[in-house]
Amino acid sequence: MIVQDSKTILEVRGLCASVNGIEILKGLDFTVKSGEVHAIMGPNGSGKSTFAKVLAGHAAYEVTGGSVLFEGNNLFELAPEERARAGVFLAFQYPIEIPGVANSQFLRLTYNTVQAQRGMEELDPLEFDDFVREQMKLLEMSPDFLDRSVNEGFSGGEKKRNEILQMALLDPRLAILDETDSGLDIDALRIVSQGVNQLATQDNAIVLVTHYQRLLNYIVPDFVHVMEAGRIIKTGGKELALELETRGYDWVAAEYQSASENRLV
Amino acid sequence: MSTVTAIQRPAEGILETLLAGQPQLPVSPLAWINALRLEAVNRLDLLTLPTKRNEEWRFTDIAPLTRLSFQPVRCATYLEPADIAHFDIEEASTRLVFVDGCYAPQLSVAAADSGVVVANLPTVLATHAIAIEAHLGRHAAFHENVFAALNTAFLHDVAVIVVPRNKVLVAPVHLLFIATQQQVVSTPRCLVVAESGSSVTLIEDYVTLCQAGGQEEAHLTNAVTEIVLENNACVNHIRIQREDVNAFHIANCAVSVGRSSNYQSVSVALGAQISRYNLDVLLAEGAECAVDGLALIASNQLADTHTCIDHTEPHGVSRQLHKCIVGGSAHAVFNGKVMVRQGAQRTDSVQSSRNLLLTRKAHVDTNPQLEIFADDVKCAHGATIGQLDSEEVFYLQSRGLSDSVARNLLTYAFGAEIIDRIPVASLKHQLEQMVLEQTSSKS
């Protein structure tokens, strides 16, 4: 929700980034304040996922220009794990499977690592078990998932639920959900969305990266942005998503094109 | 199996020094045992230690071993049960302990309940001479294998397990081989006979007990194990080699899997500066085996595993997953042969070698081999060598774990897939801890 006089969580100015020498982000501007839900939409290859990974600190993406302030601090001075501890969370489009590591072990390790860094109490295995089972109810996850290897043999929906479970445990200030809706059936979409909605507060913010308007029926955004060729070219309210659903993206690009030509004239 | 044809042998080599001590072995009351030893001694006259020119040893240079001199064990070190308490495996109700290859009755908990035999050779010769004569030295061929011949020449104490027909032994049997002396060769030996319809879990465990100040000189363990599964039997065989990093460890294991029997093996190599494990599994009709292995080594260790799974008859099933985690400037070798003989139709075999290199100097040679002489079979094999996946590391970092914790966790997980297959909870836990410690220090 849009809250008057709320703090700025993320401020991106003129961000440029490349991967393998190819420039993907070309001067991106983006501001997020606490309490807000943003949706970033756009065609394939427009740079949405790159933006998400740059924010999380993936080493394959080289930042070549611009700045990103996270709660007023330079985000690029922080290693990926430091960003996570500071409150940046990325729900992966394709969560990684880790055979051989029990989900419960992994979840407790990450939870306690982040808690310790924030000067908060760590939980022993028994305490954590109670805590995590409570959180799992939110996502209608069976406790069986605790004993299985991290994401191994999980269905697409189960992996995404496991991502949102991690979001619940790590309690981020900024959660970026990278195509969390893709590959979900209608029930899984409802459950995952309900989980996200319950986790949204006045003190945090959520950025949804998505192709489809469908998700936005469940998680209603305050702002919808259209990304094209490494920039945000249009920003609107939730009704923009519906318009994109019926009209596609081409008209937005054309509008942007003529607007910038007019500026030149 | 090594094939050694060279005739020249350096004067006063390691074999001569050792063989000079062989006549001091007490004569066995059984003529066939003396004959077996003599046959092995005679074979040793024709065999030499392998070099890298030998196909079966081309990646493993045992020159560091041949430069040292070793003596046979002359007197066993006396240990108290408290000295070895930390090697205890709680699930095991029976345990045989051998110190430098010599049976230590004061440390052992032998059993002979309901006909199951878990005892040292001399104890059981009187009651089970026929079964033992039929198998001891008959499966682990020593005619072309210098190390097996050397072990057989020094045949004295033997861990013998005989599980009678239809007996299901629930608690595992722990065979603990402790090396305590430096510059000696110990020759551990095991014989396992699982009669028709029987079932047993066996833990073969090789450790070094450091004297105060640690082990500075090397010892050589030269082990031979023979396992026989009669029809419809089931053997779970867990082998742990966790000797001192100065040790040399050579082992030969031959398994004969009878009709419709099931052999499951997990071998873990953590210790020794040079270790070599040869495992030969012979499968009869409808027999199944799972042969899994993990080598976790660092600094300048070398761990070599050679396996041969031989499908001799139809409808056999074999599964093999061998993993190596190599740090430092260590070197791992895997040579896995799957043989499908003519007539072994409907064989189903999957073999996989997966290797993780943690440093630039780490080295692995892997060679999965498939030889098929039947025309109606389903066989697959493959090998991968790689480093930790950067996407996996990033995933863990994005959850707040540091780069080094993330790498250790992934390395641990790579090995844990094998450790998880050990059906003994306390041993599994113990090994998980060891792997966790090693991966934290070695990467």
Is domain A8-264 classified as CATH 3.40.50.300? yes
Q: What is the pLDDT of residue B7?
A: 42
Tell me the one-letter amino acid at A7: K
User: Are B271 and B239 within 8 A, CB to CB?
Assistant: no
More confident: B74 or A80? A80
Indicate yes or no: CB of B390 within 8 angstroms of CB of A59.
Answer: yes
User: Are B381 and B352 within 8 A, CB to CB?
Assistant: yes
pLDDT digits over B100-141, tens only?
999 999 999 876 566 788 889 988 888 888 889 999 999 999
| Tokens encoding B415 | 């090995």
Q: Is residue B113 exposed (0-12), middle (13-18) or buried (19+ Cβ within 10 Å)?
A: exposed
- Closest approach of A174 to chain B, Cα-based (Å): 13
Measured distance CA(A134)–CA(A131) in Å, rounded: 5
Q: What is the pLDDT of residue B2?
A: 45
- A140 in the Ramachandran plot: left (φ > 0), alpha (ψ -120 to 50) or beta? left
Which of A85, A101, A112 should be substituted to probe chain B, the one whose Cβ sees the most B Cβ atoms within 10 Å? Answer: A101
Per-residue confidence band for B213, with pLDDT thresholds at 50, 70 and 90: low
- Domains of chain B, by residue range, sit at 14-284, 389-443
Residue B438 confidence (pLDDT) above 80: no
DSSP-based three-state secondary structure for B189: strand
Strand B173-179 versus strand B94-99 pairing type: parallel
Q: What is the pLDDT of residue B443?
A: 41
Q: How long is chain B?
A: 443
Cross-strand bridge partners of residue A62: A18
pTM for the model stands at 0.84
User: Are A136 and A169 within 8 A, CB to CB?
Assistant: no
Q: What is the pLDDT of residue A100?
A: 83
Distance of alpha carbon B46 from the chain centroid: 25
Indicate yes or no: CB of A101 within 8 angstroms of CB of B402.
Answer: no
Distance of alpha carbon B343 from the chain centroid: 30
Which residues on B lie below 8 Å from A83 (Cβ)? 398
Residue B223 confidence (pLDDT) above 90: yes
- Closest approach of B322 to chain A, Cα-based (Å): 15
Q: What is the pLDDT of residue B214?
A: 53
More confident: B29 or B199? B199
Query: What would the 3-class secondary structure string for chain A be?
Result: CCCCCCCEEEEEEEEEEEECCEEEEEEEEEEEECCCEEEEECCCCCCHHHHHHHHHCCCCEEEEEEEEEECCEEHHHCCHHHHHHHCEEEECCCCCCEEEEEHHHHHHHHHHHHHHHCCCCCCCHHHHHHHHHHHHHHCCCCCHHHHCEECCCCCHHHHHHHHHHHHHHHCCCEEEEECCCCCCCHHHHHHHHHHHHHHCCCCCEEEEECCCCCHHHHCCCCEEEEEECCEEEEEECCHHHHHHHHHCCHHHHHHHHHHHHHHHC
Per-residue confidence band for B95, with pLDDT thresholds at 50, 70 and 90: very high
Q: What is the mean pLDDT of chain B?
A: 91
CA-nearest residue of chain B to A109? B401
- The closest alpha carbon to A192, from A141, A133, A132, belongs to A141
Question: Mean pLDDT, to the nearest integer, of B226-255?
Answer: 97
B394, B399, B413 member nearest A59 (Cβ): B394
Per-residue confidence band for B442, with pLDDT thresholds at 50, 70 and 90: very low
Tell me the one-letter amino acid at B153: A
Q: Is residue A218 exposed (0-12), middle (13-18) or buried (19+ Cβ within 10 Å)?
A: middle
Per-residue confidence band for B433, with pLDDT thresholds at 50, 70 and 90: confident
Which of A58, A81, A110 should be substituted to probe chain B, the one whose Cβ sees the most B Cβ atoms within 10 Å? Answer: A81
CA-nearest residue of chain B to A93? B395
pLDDT digits over B242-272, tens only?
999 999 999 999 999 999 999 999 999 999 9
- The closest alpha carbon to B355, from B387, B381, B394, belongs to B387
Q: Give chain B's contact residues with A (Cβ, < 8 Å).
A: 389-392, 394-403, 405-406, 409-410, 412-417, 420
pLDDT digits over B200-209, tens only?
999 999 999 9
Q: What is the pLDDT of residue A58?
A: 96
User: Are B118 and B173 within 8 A, CB to CB?
Assistant: yes
Assembly ipTM: 0.95
Could you state, in chain order, the average pLDDT of each consecutive group of 10 residues for chain A (265 residues)?
88 96 96 97 93 96 96 96 97 92 93 93 94 94 93 93 96 96 90 95 96 92 96 94 91 89 75
Q: Give chain A's contact residues with B (Cβ, < 8 Å).
A: 56-60, 79-81, 83-85, 89-90, 92, 95-96, 98-101, 106, 109-110, 113-114, 117, 149, 166, 170
Cβ-based neighbour number of residue B261 at 10 Å: 27
